[in-house]
Structure 1
Amino acid sequence: MKFQPERLIQLRESLGISKAAAARKLNMSAMGYGRYERGEREPSFQTVSFIANAFNTTTDYLYGLSDKPKCETITISASDEPELFALVQSIKNDDSQTRRLLEYYKQLTAMKQ
């Protein structure tokens, strides 16, 4: 598995941010970030995971294992989002509650538009 710097560039450009802004978003130096984009340095898996999370993509995309830049899953942590985690746990095996919440969500999003 090899990090694909061109994918990082594509993501940054699709977000419409500069290299300096990307570095700030990732809390790293502009020089260090630039090395990743130029392929001069291979980020650790932990760093790639952090980049993927910050840029709303996947590690598979950044390693060239997938051509889909958008995440198709979301991880909800009980420690970071306890109420959302509890909600998902409560509807996990209850189809009627899931349908009701989805209908409510549709109504809420329709009101915002």
Structure 2
Amino acid sequence: MKFKAERMIKIREQLGMNKAEAARKLNMSAMGYGRYENGQREPSFQTVCFIASTFNTTSDYLYGLTDDPSPNVITISSSEDPELFSFVNSLQKDKSLEKRLLECFNKLTQQNK
């Protein structure tokens, strides 16, 4: 698999970030990030997965295996959003609560259309 730097650039631009902002968000040096974008360096698989997660896309998209940049998994971190993490955790433990909340969600989203 070959990393498609142009796809990382496209996602970064869609997020409205410049290279320096993207590097900070990924906790890497601007120079290191720039080497990925200009194709001087190939990121490891783990780094591609981290970039995909951080930029809300998939590693398959960044490798050119799919043309759909939409993620199919969402990770919720207890340290980044403890309330949302607790909420989702409660839903996983209580399937009847999950069903009731999904019904409410569907009604609310249908009313907003």
Q: TM-score, normalised by structure 2?
A: 0.79
For 2:72 and 2:23, locate their aligned partners in 1 and report how far apart those are by CA, in whole Å: 25
Is the 1:76–1:85 contact (alpha carbons within 8 Å) kept by the matching residues of 2? Answer: no
- Stretches of structure 2 that go unaligned for 5 or more consecutive residues are none
Equivalence for 1:31: 31
| CA distance in structure 2 between the aligned counterparts of 1:77 and 1:48, rounded to whole angstroms | 19
Once residues 88 and 75 of structure 1 are traced to their aligned partners in structure 2, the CA distance between those partners, rounded to angstroms, is 14
Number of equivalenced pairs: 108
Q: Distance in 2 between matches of 1:11 and 1:67?
A: 12
Question: Offset at 1:73?
Answer: 2.5
Corresponding residue of 1:19:
19
- The answer to whether the 8 Å contact 1:56/1:70 transfers is yes
Which amino acid is the alignment partner of residue 89 of structure 2? F
Query: What's the Cα RMSD here?
Result: 2.7
CA contact (8 A) 1:77 1:85 kept: no
Runs of 4+ in 1 over 3 A off after TM superposition: 75-83, 106-112
Matches within 5 A, 1:19-98: 19-75=19-75, 81=85, 83-91=87-95, 97-98=98-99
The unaligned stretches of length 5 or more in structure 1 are none
What is the one-letter code of the residue matched to 1:87?
Answer: L
Structure 1: distance between partners of 2:30 and 2:77: 30
8 A contact 1:78–1:86 mirrored in 2? no
Work out the CA distance in 2 between the residues paired with 1:65 and 1:89. Answer: 35
